[in-house]
Amino acid sequence: MEPEIENQNRRCPRLGSPVPLSYCMKCNDNHRPCGKVIDCWWEFFDIKSYLEKNLSTEDFTELVNQKPQDKITSILELIEKAKNR
Ligand code: SF4
């Protein structure tokens, strides 16, 4: 990961605090990227090209093609993850 991009921060809408891209790239199950990584980072730089370059073809395709979750599903998943920590 390029250091200048890795160290860039943005406010996470889920956590309510700043997070670096390096966090977003590994915060999902099995250290995979957050499902909102494209939505959250497209205004800062060309995140799609970055993901295409840094993920396997399979992971990139899965991320780009995933269906957005409704808010209730996202919240329930976050609660479940918090319980397991
Ligand atoms: S990509 Fe995920 S972890 Fe990163 S800022 Fe967005 S919602 Fe938060």
- Of all residues in the chain, the percent with pLDDT exceeding 90 is 59
Q: Report the separation in Å between the CA atom of 13 and the middle of ligand 1, taken as the mean of its atom positions.
A: 7
Q: Rounded to whole angstroms, how far apart are CA atoms 4 and 13?
A: 22
Q: What is the pLDDT of residue 57?
A: 95
Burial class of residue 41, CB neighbours in 10 A (0-12, 13-18, 19+): buried
pLDDT above 60 for 1: no
Of all protein residues, whose CA lies closest to atom 4 belonging to ligand 1?
Answer: 24
What is the rounded average pLDDT for all residues in the chain?
88
Q: Report the separation in Å between the CA atom of 80 and the middle of ligand 1, taken as the mean of its atom positions.
A: 17
DSSP string, 8-70: -EEE-TTTSSEEEHHHHTT-SGGGPPPTTHHHHHTTTS-HHHHHHHHS-HHHHHHHHHPPPPP
pLDDT above 70 for 10: yes
Ligand 1 contact, 37 CB (< 6 A): yes
Q: Quote the pTM value.
A: 0.76
pLDDT digits (tens, 9 = 90+) for 30-60: 899 999 999 999 999 999 999 999 999 999 9
Of all protein residues, whose CA lies closest to atom 3 belonging to ligand 1?
Answer: 24
